[in-house]
Amino acid sequence: MEHTRVGAFEWERGSPETFTGTVWSTPMSRSPERTVTAIGVMFGPGARTFWHSHPDGQVLYVASGSGRVGNVDGKFVEIAAGDVVYTPAGESHWHGATSSSYLMHISITTGGATVWEPRAVTDEEYNGGAS
């Protein structure tokens, strides 16, 4: 058993090559086989990921705050503390905080690394416009 106290997590600033705005993340999974990846991610108001997908899909658990998750259909859903979002394998999507709230979620994935697209989510996409 391994127990990590909240103050022991090492939060790193999100890269401007994969995030818009202020984002911090920390790995939470400790499995030596890396069969499951769990990452805590904190988004400042208006911050969001770039477009990306996951080989085996992704589960997001919203720990606090409120945000949005959007896909290539140009639509998004509003998310809040306690919500769970599942994105299927290979589906291009994005997620982040609303413009007036922080968002803390836990991302759980299997099957390998996130596949980042080299394009940011535009303000129009973020606000529910065309992709």
* Residue 49 domain flag: yes
Residue 125's H or E segment, with its range, is: helix 123-126
User: Given this model, what pLDDT does residue 75 score?
Assistant: 83
Query: What's the CATH code of the domain at 22?
Result: 2.60.120.10
* Residue 126 domain flag: no
Q: What tens digit of pLDDT does each residue of 102-113 get?
A: 999 999 999 889
Q: What tens digit of pLDDT does each residue of 69-83 get?
A: 999 988 889 999 999
Work out the pLDDT band at 32, boundaries 50, 70, 90: confident
Residue 55 belongs to what domain range? 12-112
* Residue 5 domain flag: no
Number of domains in the chain: 1
d(CA 110, CA 55): 8
Average pLDDT over residues 92-118: 96
pTM of the model: 0.92
Please list the helix, strand and coil fractions of the chain in percent, rounded to the nearest 5, in that order: 5, 45, 50
* Residue 127 domain flag: no
* Residue 25 domain flag: yes
